[in-house]
Amino acid sequence: MRDFIKSKSYFDEFIIQDTGRVERFETKIKSGEVKEDRILPVKYKLIQIKTGIIIAKYSRGDSIELLRNEFESLIDLFVEAWNSESYEDNLRFASLAYLLNINTNLKDRIREKLKGTQYYDYLIDFVLVGLESDIDTNKISFLRQYKKLVQFIDDGNKDTFSKYLHGWYRSHFHSSWYDTHKNEDYKLYFGYWCFEAGAVAKRMGLKDDDLQKEQYYPYDMVHFAE
């Protein structure tokens, strides 16, 4: 277990539940039950559900190698159907791609797809390619929310990074996943993880031994495949 907000049995049930949702959607597409103009939206929903399953499996403690394989299997679908104008979703997907150490070709395909979204900026590009980014460092879509993380890229000050990490959950009160662990009627919670902080920390070579048990910090994903 990496996440102790919920029990292992909760994550087991969540994964079974959402795997069933995936199977039902895929069956409907294959059988022709989905109208032509609804196929891409349904496939986009599949990406969201499958990403949630991967994160839930990470929370449960599953092998990161297996999670990488599942994530890589999503890329064709992602390139075909991803249609999110949510900056947060785009940054999270980019961060997972880097932290899971997927091969360069797949990462380049994700980058090209995300470049076509409304808010592609330096922070997302830095996560994907590091200092090779050719985007203006001042191009930050939501500076107020990500200011400390961007500042850390600039000055390397660990205190700045820690402030971002410690304020991360509260700063996302508007997000659809916020407080989902409190919902007793439906299984919506897949884990609270600040993947973008992990990705930036890895890019910056941050000495993070003291963050191993820090809530929200995906420590062992940061150190995957070292």
Q: Where are the domains of the chain?
A: 8-222
Whole-number mean pLDDT of the chain?
96
Tell me the pLDDT tens digit for each residue of 95-111.
999 999 999 999 999 99
Give which of 66, 124, 68 is closest to 95, Cα–Cα: 124
Q: Say if residues 79 and 30 touch (Cβ distance below 8 Å).
A: no
Taking the C-alpha atoms of residue 180 and residue 92, their distance in angstroms, rounded to an integer, is 18
SS3 103: coil
Which pair of tokens denotes residue 81? Answer: 């159907």
Nearest Cα neighbor of 13 from 193, 191, 181, 187 is: 187
Q: Above 90 in pLDDT, residue 116?
A: yes
Query: Once rounded to an integer, what is the mean pLDDT over residues 20-49?
Result: 97
pLDDT band at 42 (very low <50, low <70, confident <90, very high): very high
Q: State the pLDDT confidence band at 123, using cuts at 50, 70 and 90.
A: very high
pLDDT tier, 124 (very low <50, low <70, confident <90, very high otherwise): very high
Whether 35 shows a pLDDT value over 90: the answer reads: yes
Residue 82: predicted pLDDT: 96
pLDDT in tens, 145-174: 999 999 999 999 999 999 999 999 999 999
pLDDT single digits (tens) 194-206? 999 999 999 999 9
Average of pLDDT values for 108-137?
96
Residue range 21-33: average pLDDT?
97
pLDDT band at 48 (very low <50, low <70, confident <90, very high): very high
Does pLDDT of 226 surpass 90? Answer: no
Q: Could you give the residue ranges of the DSSP H alpha helices within the chain?
A: 8-30, 39-60, 64-72, 75-81, 87-99, 104-115, 122-129, 143-155, 158-171, 195-204, 219-222
Q: Reply yes or no on whether the pLDDT at 85 is more than 90.
A: no
Report pLDDT for 225: 84
Q: What percent of the chain is modeled with pLDDT above 70?
A: 100
Token pair 């460092």 in the structure block, residue: 137
pTM above 0.75, yes or no: yes
